[in-house]
Amino acid sequence: MATTPPPLQGPTSKEKKYDRQLRLWGANGQAALEEAHILLINSGSGVVGIETLKNLVLPGAGNFTILDSAIVEEADLGVNFFLASDSLGKSRAEQCCELLKELNPDVDGHFSSEPIETFITKPDALDPYTLILATAPISPEILEIIIAHATETLTPLFYIHSVGFYSHFSVHLPHAFPVVDTHPDPVTISDLRLLNPWPALTQLVQEKTAHLEAMSDDDHGHVPYVLLLLHFLEKWKSAHDDKAPQNYKEKSEFREMVRAGTRTSNPEGGEENSEEAVAAVLKNLNPPELSSNVKEVFNSAECVGASPDSQNFWIIASAISSFHKNNKVLPLPGSVPDMKAKSNDYIALQNVYKTKAREDFAEVLSIVRDIEAALERTNPIDEKEVEAFCKGAAHIKLVRGKGMHIAKPGETIEWLDRAKFAFGSLTNPDSLIHIYIAFLAYDSFGAAHPADGLNGAALAPGTTDFEADTEKMVGMAQQIIDDIIKEAGKTMEDPEYTEVKEQSQKVVTELVRAGGGELHNISAFTGGTVAQEVIKVITKQYVPVDNCCMWDGVSSTISVLRL
Amino acid sequence: MDETTVADMANGDGSRIKWKFLDRIVSRQGPFADPDNPIGEQALQMLSSVKVLVIGAGGLGCEILKNLALSGFTDIHVIDMDTIDVSNLNRQFLFRQADVGKHKAEVAARFVESRVRGVKITPYCGKIQDKDEDYYMQFAFVVCGLDSIEARRWINATLVGMVDEENPDSLKPLIDGGTEGFKGQSKVILPTMTSCIECQLDLHAPRAAVPLCTLATIPRQPQHCIEWAHIIAWDEERKDITLDNDDPEHITWLYQKALKRAEDFDIPGVTYSMTQGVVKNIIPAIASTNAIIAASCCNEAFKFATGSNPSLAYPPPDANNYMTYSGDDSIYTYTFTHEKKDDCPVCGNLAKTMEIDPSWTLQEFVESFAERPEAQLKKPSIRSEAKTLYMQSIASLEEQTRPNLAKKLSELVSDGEEIAVSDPALQISFKYKLVFKS
């Protein structure tokens, strides 16, 4: 028997290798990943950064560079998988780089064993990198330089701790980090615009529902539910001052009206399309309202006052905001959920939605072109970018990147507009703010105890004296807590205050117990979460953490806080 | 086990310098740990004296093996029946291009052994069903990284069945993880004491199947056209060839059939990649999510074996035993107690009540088991208290009982009667009490 000829668009070898991830972030996301150059500034026992890189090398992040001046010791072999026994005595940066590169021949790996203290003094030292991962401990002065670079060049920065059963990372994103492709839950994305049908849709409703009564059972049971709902809405409106159902009570009445239209004289004793219509009433009869995320974008200064050098996002957002002012709705995404229907009726309905979506897109595009002309921008925005924005408009998200705390001995941490939130978190049992505070104390302790060894690497609390260091650290964490209470302009009475102190003491003790050492599982876990976040930031898809994430390996919980 | 000290436990060179960080934490009393748990040498002794079983050497399995080896476990066994495919390489980091076609368990075991000195990993390239209770009895606990719900249910039922109240060693904790895209879950099961895989089955409801008549007469989505090619066209036109999901020629044939049908109905969107996805029921998978879930499972294993902190499910039955993780929109975890069900067909002792329409035929009833979230049985055989209603697993009995399929349930069972349902994929029998809908 003749074999089937290969399809013209059969998968390439790269598509085969990356099949399972392309189904998530697509070719665009993959291209962004392949253009990235990630710098890892590695410190301490050095595992969490390497585990993060592993999860980025595998999916094909184009380039990575490891900066690490450590020499491989016996203790590294018990915790770091990307070192082998013959790595002992060699550069940890070099050895990890070689073993990571084995994972994916499509990725370029680089390394440098230069101490961060001298590396960072070179001008342009950080310029080649599109994203920076820095693992603690890092001296506060150097962390300041890295943060300043990230802020100035809009380079995303991750600062990571993994110690014992706890980990933390802070994400430093540009002041405006907009995401269009947020991958919302598919159930929430279709916009059927039932309350604002346009002429082509109204006409289809009339065509397909004019003779409902006379239809055969088979035809009646296959009228798409969207058309049924629109049909009954017309009927409702004619009896209610031309108004759609306004509140829950009216919607429930309307639902009964739809239910009453079900034919039960057929052998099945009911109809699936009617059931779908009844189920869709409460979800789909809400007046079009903008989500708080979209409002935030429309009201932000960048959108209201787009300038010649604005990012494309703001030009398109500004155009869609105008579109919304003109039409009182967002551009139609154009997708229609599957529903009980005959093939041709469903396709006809789908085409009406698609055509309308194309018209809305055309209107938005022409506003974009007008704005571009008014601003005298020379590079027109790619139509595809405008189209993608129109499709996802209801679910866009703006993350406002913010700076991160740098703990220095003797200096008070400032919480600014987050002081009240931090205060509230102190007593919230689900919040892991005490882990965050313990890590601030940890950094402060390290900065106050630079070891006399190489490169001024900091001494971790609990390295040798568990009890004495715990006592010091508990005091430091307590100070941070008192500062939060003070800055928030609040007071805390007993028994709450004692409970907060006890909780903090336990968390600090658990942290000091590790003496600065990593547990492989905690670093592997954290390397997974950081890698997910890096992928989200690089591909500009899904919604990244804003801005601190704590993992508690004791209770197996995560908490994300904006601090 | 022989009288050995921690110092000369298999660490290659016999020294513990390599385990500096791990030893430090285990030898200090933690503020959240049970103060009755031993610390130091005794806890480390536990860690390196127990035998651990890992089921699955795929995306999760590779991570689990690495993590357990670097958690100080020294005697690890791994079971996997699969061979390595090129689409595994984006996350199954113990495999290279040159390993494609070899057995996963074997390659993974050798790789971790060569990288982490002192660990012994024993692979078995085959099915978990090949092994009996004596085999499973040798392990302290089982860590599962599987993509198949059937295999999970099988090992779960086996471990529950092994529990002997007279012998505390017969209770084997099961630590299980699963992922999909940026999401996943991990949980710890203490068979018979806490909620088991079967108790949790409805958390993993199967996707609703598209009715056959839609596929056959009124397709609307590209997926409908692909399912039609897969389920209907192949049997009609290529009955004599067994469909092999991994044969590119077969997928291409289905793709072209589906594309033609989609054109006939004006349905856009059929692609080769979608064809593969639908036919093989592909779940998106990435390295980072596997890393998260596997590390969570191994963290529980480490806490369990060393007592250095409380693991999920301890103390039973009230402790949190289940963590869900979602990374799509920021990061959320939800860690909670999933409660054991008294009417669980595996670990409970009550028959589950099932409301049925007495006018259904037995055929309809049999087919409904595949879609019931709490059952998910593809080839059920059914017995009532009085007689065998339908038996699929043995051909002669199937023929004998087939005439029952056309009968109404009201002719076969009485209101309130108990039935037993079994399926060749699982070694247990489900008890249901049938209640007639009025």
Tens of pLDDT, residue by residue over B23-67, are 999 999 999 999 998 888 888 888 889 999 999 999 999 999 999
> What CA–CA distance (Å, rounded) separates A89 from A92?
8
Give B385: exposed, middle or buried? Use CB within 10 Å, 0-12, 13-18, 19+: exposed
Residue A269 pLDDT class (50, 70, 90 cuts): confident
Class of domain B212-280: mainly alpha
Across the range B173-183, mean pLDDT stands at 97
In DSSP notation, A27-53 reads HHHHHHHHH-EEEEE--TT-HHHHHHH
Tens of pLDDT, residue by residue over A336-351, are 999 999 999 999 999 9
Inform me whether the pLDDT recorded for B426 exceeds 90.
Answer: no
- The percent of residues in chain A predicted with pLDDT above 70, rounded, is 97
Inform me whether the pLDDT recorded for B2 exceeds 50.
Answer: no
Contacts with A558 from chain B: Cβ below 8 Å: 325, 331-333
- Please report the pLDDT score of residue A428 as a whole number: 94
- Please report the pLDDT score of residue B12 as a whole number: 46
Q: Tell me if A520 and B18 make a contact (CB, 8 A cut-off).
A: no
B166-201: b (≥16 Cβ within 10 Å) or e: eeeebbbbbbbbbbebbbbbbbbbbbbbbbbbbbbb
CATH of B352-436 among 3.40.50.300, 3.10.290.20, 3.90.180.10, 3.20.20.70 = 3.10.290.20
Closest CA to B145 of B341, B301, B315: B301
Q: Tell me if B273 and A22 make a contact (CB, 8 A cut-off).
A: yes
- Rounded to the nearest angstrom, the minimum Cα separation between A520 and chain B is 6
In B, minimum Cα distance to A525 occurs at: B292
∠ CA A318-A320-A321, nearest 5°, is 60
Tens of pLDDT, residue by residue over A65-78, are 999 999 999 999 99
Q: Tell me if B24 and A514 make a contact (CB, 8 A cut-off).
A: yes
pTM of the predicted model, to two decimals? 0.93
Contacts with B320 from chain A: Cβ below 8 Å: 555-556
Tell me where in chain A the CATH 3.40.50.720 domain(s) lie: 13-174+521-561
User: Using CB atoms, which residue from B31, B114, B284 is nearest to A23?
Assistant: B284
Least confident of B10-19, B52-61, B267-276, B426-435: B10-19
In A, minimum Cα distance to B299 occurs at: A521
- Cβ contact A76:A45 at 8 Å: yes
Closest CA to A462 of A513, A426, A414: A513
Q: Where are the domains of chain B?
A: 31-204+284-336, 212-280, 352-436
Tens of pLDDT, residue by residue over B222-265, are 999 999 999 999 999 999 999 999 898 999 999 999 999 999 99
Residue A6 pLDDT class (50, 70, 90 cuts): low
Inform me whether the pLDDT recorded for B207 exceeds 80.
Answer: no
Tens of pLDDT, residue by residue over A470-487, are 999 999 999 999 999 999
- Please report the pLDDT score of residue B385 as a whole number: 82
Residue A456 pLDDT class (50, 70, 90 cuts): low
Q: In this predicted model, which residue has the larger pLDDT, B347 or A362?
A: A362
User: Average pLDDT of chain B?
Assistant: 91
Q: Tell me if B333 and A182 make a contact (CB, 8 A cut-off).
A: no
- Cβ contact A514:A108 at 8 Å: no
Q: A496-504: list long-range contacts, CB under 8 Å, 24+ apart.
A: A496/A427, A499/A427, A500/A426, A500/A427, A503/A434, A504/A434, A504/A437, A504/A438, A504/A474, A504/A477, A504/A478
Residue B377 pLDDT class (50, 70, 90 cuts): confident
Determine the residue among B28, B116, B249 to mutate to test chain A binding: the one whose Cβ has the most chain A Cβ atoms within 10 Å: B28
The encoded tokens of residue A404 equal 């991160």
Residue A443 pLDDT class (50, 70, 90 cuts): very high
- Please report the pLDDT score of residue A9 as a whole number: 59
- Please report the pLDDT score of residue A490 as a whole number: 96
- Please report the pLDDT score of residue B7 as a whole number: 40
Tens of pLDDT, residue by residue over B116-128, are 999 999 999 999 9
Residue A224 pLDDT class (50, 70, 90 cuts): very high
User: Using CB atoms, which residue from B21, B32, B312 is nearest to A519?
Assistant: B21
> What CA–CA distance (Å, rounded) separates B190 from A41?
42
Residue A452 pLDDT class (50, 70, 90 cuts): low
Tens of pLDDT, residue by residue over B13-32, are 557 899 999 999 999 999 99
Check if the interface score ipTM surpasses 0.90: yes
> What CA–CA distance (Å, rounded) separates B121 from B175?
18
Tens of pLDDT, residue by residue over A122-174, are 989 999 999 999 999 999 999 999 999 999 999 999 999 999 999 999 999 99
How many beta carbons lie within 10 A of that of residue A176, not counting itself? 19
CATH fold for domain B31-204+284-336: Rossmann fold (3.40.50)
User: Using CB atoms, which residue from B70, B89, B93 is nearest to A54?
Assistant: B93
Q: Does B295 touch chain A (CB under 8 A)?
A: yes
Q: Tell me if A524 and B67 make a contact (CB, 8 A cut-off).
A: yes
- Please report the pLDDT score of residue A440 as a whole number: 98
- Please report the pLDDT score of residue B209 as a whole number: 82
Inform me whether the pLDDT recorded for B3 exceeds 60.
Answer: no
Q: Does B255 touch chain A (CB under 8 A)?
A: yes
The answer to whether domain B31-204+284-336 and domain B352-436 are alike in fold is no
- Please report the pLDDT score of residue B10 as a whole number: 40
**Which alpha helices (DSSP H) does B73-168 contain, by range?**
104-115, 133-137, 149-162
The encoded tokens of residue B141 equal 């606990």
User: Average pLDDT of chain A?
Assistant: 94
Tens of pLDDT, residue by residue over A275-307, are 999 999 998 898 888 999 999 999 999 999 999
Q: Which of B213, B298, B344, B347 is the catalytic position? A: B213
Across the range B132-140, mean pLDDT stands at 96
Q: Tell me if A344 and B266 make a contact (CB, 8 A cut-off).
A: yes
Across the range B348-371, mean pLDDT stands at 87
The encoded tokens of residue B188 equal 């710890």
- Please report the pLDDT score of residue B369 as a whole number: 87
Q: Tell me if B25 and A338 make a contact (CB, 8 A cut-off).
A: no
- Please report the pLDDT score of residue B38 as a whole number: 86
Largest interatomic CA distance in chain A: 92
Instruction: Name the residue type at position B289.
Output: T
Residue B185's contacts (CB-CB under 8 Å, 6 or more residues apart) are B177, B178, B293, B322, B323, B324, B325
Least confident of A448-462, A530-544, B274-288: A448-462
> What CA–CA distance (Å, rounded) separates A201 from A230?
9
Residue A189's contacts (CB-CB under 8 Å, 6 or more residues apart) are A333, A335, A394, A395
Q: Which of residues 338-377 of B touch A (CB under 8 A)?
A: none
- Please report the pLDDT score of residue A519 as a whole number: 98
Residues in chain A: 563
Residues in chain B: 438
Across the range A406-434, mean pLDDT stands at 95
Across the range B57-84, mean pLDDT stands at 97
- Please report the pLDDT score of residue A274 as a whole number: 96
Is B213 one of the annotated active-site residues of the chain?
yes
C-alpha R_g of chain A: 29
Tens of pLDDT, residue by residue over B390-421, are 998 888 888 999 999 999 999 999 998 889 88
At the fourth CATH level, the homologous superfamily of domain A13-174+521-561 is: NAD(P)-binding Rossmann-like Domain (3.40.50.720)
Residue B378: phi and psi, rounded to 5, are -90, -35
> What CA–CA distance (Å, rounded) separates A516 from A462?
7
Residue A457 pLDDT class (50, 70, 90 cuts): low
- Please report the pLDDT score of residue A451 as a whole number: 67
